[in-house]
Structure 1
Amino acid sequence: MQAARGVLVLNAGSSSLKFAVVDPDTGAQRLSGIGESLGDSDPRVSWRCDDETGHLALDPGAAHAAVLDYLVGELLPAQPALRAQLIAVGHRIVHGGEHFAQSVLIDGDVIATIEDCAALAPLHNPPGLLGIRAARRAFAQLDQVAVFDTAFHQSLPPHAYLYALPYRLYREHRIRRYGMHGSSYRFVSERAAALLQRPLSALNIIATHLGNGASVAAIKSGTSADTSMGLTPLEGLVMGTRCGDLDAGVLIHLAESLGYAVAEIRALLNRDSGLLGISGLSNDCRELERAAGNGHRGARLALEIFCYRLAKYIAAYTVPLQRVDALVFTGGIGENSTWVRAQTLEWLRGLGYRLDSARNRQMRAGAEGAITAAGSPLALVIPTNEEWVIARDAARLVAAQE
């Protein structure tokens, strides 16, 4: 019998850091946790190891480095048997440009390339690099693997990834659409094929990954045909603090007429916009739903814009697919917000979608299944598992060296 083994997976988001020790064969997690609200006034860490749970309030403003220090300095040393099972560390890295079409073992050149791409994912690549450096110090004997969100979308055709800018900007500077959330899309497309008992190569789905960062992908025969995020994670849907699609003339107006500097525009678009900017209250969908229920007009408006823009993208992605076998909701909001799913499908009534309200209410906290009524095009909720995808890739690359 094969000895137990695990991959330490680090998944750095814009305001969160998930960590887990994952069995690459089964997806089981002996240790899992998350640092949330990082950089805000009330950052915190919560974790579970077997049947034990813990919570830690971090200092106001603490960010990803504080979570890594706690994980490496306290949590893992308290579990020596678990630490002894580690065979690799897998890192979710958002942006790899055109350099990576698949996951890779990390070396100095890979780190330098991730650094070069940091300007394209300023909320993600820098904390991802923090995780790589901390893990290399703490686990010098283990291979480190980078799994890129952008790699899944390297199958986009030129008519989907090119912008209508002078072609030299692509030829000389690789300015194009890249897309993100690739690990999530890989997992949910494979899981959708299993649920529908059809080969992935024969399945067309529109997948929506909805969280503080949000995107949509048209997945044709298991490969990405189009996606909403672009050169950076700013493009596409309304997100927690990001604006999504925007008339580029707004940026010119901000600079020329209102005197905004580049750094101010960057902060405005990445940190002060989206659900937070519209509502004036929060970037947390749960808080906005509670506030909207209590009559907060800004919260309701933010959620309505979020769902409307989402529905428009879903409708648009019938174009590259022609035949849509399933619409998939995933990510923290997609898996848990009955309100967002219901409102989005209401906007899609013209395409025949009809919600089964009872089923929709059941799809929370890890539940999986259909939420549409009989006779409606199929919509599914599938909890994502990016950590398992990362662990599988890490184990595969480590095994290839043996």
Structure 2
Amino acid sequence: MTGTSTPMTLDSAFVHDPYSFYRRLREEAPVRAVVMPHGLKVWLVTRYADAREALTNPALRKDLRPVQYLFERHQTRTSTGDFGADLTAHMLNSDPPDHTRLRGLVAKAFTMRRVELLRPRIVGITEDLLAGRSGAVDLIDDFAFPLPVTVICELLGIPDDDRDDFRAWSSALVAGASAESVGAAAVAMSGYLRGLIDTKRTAPADDMLTELIHAQEDGDELTEVELVSMAFLLLVAGHETTVNLIGNGVLALLRNPGQLAALHADPGLLPGAVEEFLRYESPVNHATLRYTTEPVEIGGTTIPADEFVTVSLASANHDGDRFGPATDTLDVTRAAAGHMAFGHGIHFCLGAPLARLEGQIAIGGLVARFPGMTLSTDPADLRWRDSTLLRGLAHLPVQLT
């Protein structure tokens, strides 16, 4: 490791194997400046205790609108583009009191009761997707994607015929290869959502998007831009992370057949196993960006003002000081509660109960029906999606038996 004042440049190899890097960083420089593979300089926080501190520190701000100039200052090469105001004015990019207001309005349409009522439908979708399956499949395209995207689209009221377009836009926005692809996807997604909101205003339906349109608290309601942005957040966050939970969890089992056998022998382990999957290969690698408005000390390191900060949830979840010495080992009996896969603090993922339910039903259904499933390729040939925010496979070739 070089001095922490000199940014360490991360290359594309980091996307495919970040854990050896995290291990060294936790030991030698747990809070340090890095240049991410897409060129943005940030301060990366890697230890569990420091991560919890950073995610609750009010001196680290989330509303990026006043500091767009920081992207020009800290971007070391051509930017991959931005989403535009229509897709960024949501609660994940806000601070109190705006965040408190936005989350309160959305929470009215996203309750635990609604999530539990979805259980029969999630079971039905899972059974339909697995029925008649056997032999070689791509578990991402054939199962891990269609299950959560069907659920979130039905929940929000997205028509069936529009879901393929939505997947293409979402993929470009999450891991866009160019500014042009990101910009085009942002314009298309924004235009589509505005049209859908107009439709539901004139023809209300029994879905969450209609509820968001009419959600009020103390006479307040979401503005047009906030509606579009919140719909975008719920759509993307509502399926991208669960796709990765299912894909990453199944891969972990395939690479650890003893754990797969244990889970098949005792389905009662499933809720705890899903927590272990979330810890072991977190669907979200890094929390979204924060920035400093004044010098901030984290883990004994002072980060100057006007710097971006990101927290590695994946690294925090492999911190031996919190989870024991064998954090790089999958253990479906581990007490993994307290992991940070869904973040921490006021921005803790609102959709965590839905993701957990989908993960339990999806992976449980696979293990029950195909206990002899195997990986159809060399693990070294698997490719991870080109994103430092999310941690997920592009494809997962599996033999279902």
The alignment's TM-score, normalised by the length of structure 1, stands at 0.26
Return the structure number with greater relative CO, CA threshold 8 A, min gap 6: 2
Name the structure where strand makes up a greater proportion of residues. 1
Please state which structure has a larger fraction of its residues in helix.
Answer: 2
- TM-score for both structures, normalised by structure 2: 0.27
